[in-house]
Amino acid sequence: MKIEVNHFNAGFGNMEILKDINLKIPKHSVTALIGPSGCGKSTFLRSINRMNDLSRDFCCNGDILINSMNIYGDEIDVVDLRKNVGMVFQKANPFPMSIYDNVAYGLRIHGIHDDYEISKVVEKSLKQAALWEEVEDKLFESALNLSGGQQQRLCIARTIAVNPDIILMDEPCSALDPISTLKIEELISELKKDYTIVLVTHNMQQAKRSSDYTAFFLNGEVIESGLTRNIFQNPQEIKTQDYIMGRFG
């Protein structure tokens, strides 16, 4: 198991968001987290790379193990953790710098300054993110001039450039048109050969198409999890069934 979550509770201040989460996420797979808005799936995703730590009133207990190491343990350095667990956000957020510098950014902050090495990784990452051909001849133009779908693929390239173990994706296609969405989905299936991917999505079809495993969140709890095929074709819980059939959410 790549990620193992045991009795994990979390919240902000007095507000409890996640209740007793137990989940196992295998490596080199895509796990989709689905559920209605406000069910806690994004909070859970952001617990895996400790992005929630950025709000001071965040508190949690229980364990999240990555490669059998508790990431909330005392000896864990958040900065190293986030290097290992990359994240792609809901809104594409390239930095206001050139395409090249965006991809090189992670390498540079982690102390790599050899230009030849950086240029190799930039090219490799952009190719892996299926963006290379589109941007090859404008690497030094501002990334903000790219289209929304290209920006999101650039963010993926930026994330894989530092060679993480796990990639977290927080509704990466919610702001994109159908064609760009399809491209990102293809990319996700391609990337799972090398990475473990956790994908939060609102889009049931997307979960069905591109994930191997699915976990259904409701009111801060995991109602059901397992193979995507099983969850969609043969859900065990009434609530899961209702959600998948579109009765709420």
Partner 1 sequence: MHVKSIQKITSFWFKLSGAITLAILMIIVSYILIKGIGAINLEFLLTKPVDSGREGGILPMILSSLYLLAVTSFIAIPLGVGSALYMAEYNENHKLEVVIRFISQVLASVPSIVFGLFGLAFLIFFLKTGWSLLSGGVILSLMSMPTIYQVSEVALKSVPEHYKEGCYGMGATKWQCITSIILPTAASGIFTGIILALTRAFSEAAAVMYLVGSSLEMPTSLLDTGRPLPLHLYVLANEGISMENAYGTAFVLIAIVLTITILSNHIISKYEIKLGV
Summarize as ranges the residues that interact with partner 1 (CB under 8 A).
Answer: 49, 51, 54, 56, 79-84, 86-87, 89, 91, 93-97, 105-106, 108-110, 141-145, 155, 158-159, 162
Q: How far is the CB of 196 from partner 1 (least distance, A)?
A: 16
**Alpha helix stretches (DSSP H) within 55-169:** 78-84, 99-109, 115-128, 132-135, 148-161
Do 210 and 181 touch, CB atoms closer than 8 A? no
CB nearer to partner 1: pick between 1 and 97:
97
Q: How far is the CB of 193 from partner 1 (least distance, A)?
A: 22
Six-digit token pair at 241? 């069934």
Of the candidates 219, 74, 94, which has an alpha carbon nearest to the alpha carbon of residue 153? 94
Do 49 and 3 touch, CB atoms closer than 8 A? no
Do 85 and 3 touch, CB atoms closer than 8 A? no
Q: How far is the CB of 144 from partner 1 (least distance, A)?
A: 4
Q: How far is the CB of 239 from partner 1 (least distance, A)?
A: 31
CB nearer to partner 1: pick between 39 and 169:
169
Q: How far is the CB of 63 from partner 1 (least distance, A)?
A: 21
CB nearer to partner 1: pick between 24 and 83:
83
Angle 25-184-123 from CA coordinates, rounded to 5°: 100
CB nearer to partner 1: pick between 79 and 245:
79
CB nearer to partner 1: pick between 12 and 232:
12
CB nearer to partner 1: pick between 29 and 98:
98
DSSP 20: E
Of the candidates 222, 244, 213, 198, which has an alpha carbon nearest to the alpha carbon of residue 235? 244
Of the candidates 226, 238, 221, 175, which has an alpha carbon nearest to the alpha carbon of residue 35? 221
**Radius of gyration from C-alpha coordinates of the chain:** 18
Six-digit token pair at 33? 């987290």
Of the candidates 108, 153, 149, which has an alpha carbon nearest to the alpha carbon of residue 128? 153
Q: How far is the CB of 79 from partner 1 (least distance, A)?
A: 5
Q: How far is the CB of 52 from partner 1 (least distance, A)?
A: 11
| Parallel/antiparallel/unpaired status of strands 213-218 and 30-34 | parallel
CB nearer to partner 1: pick between 108 and 127:
108
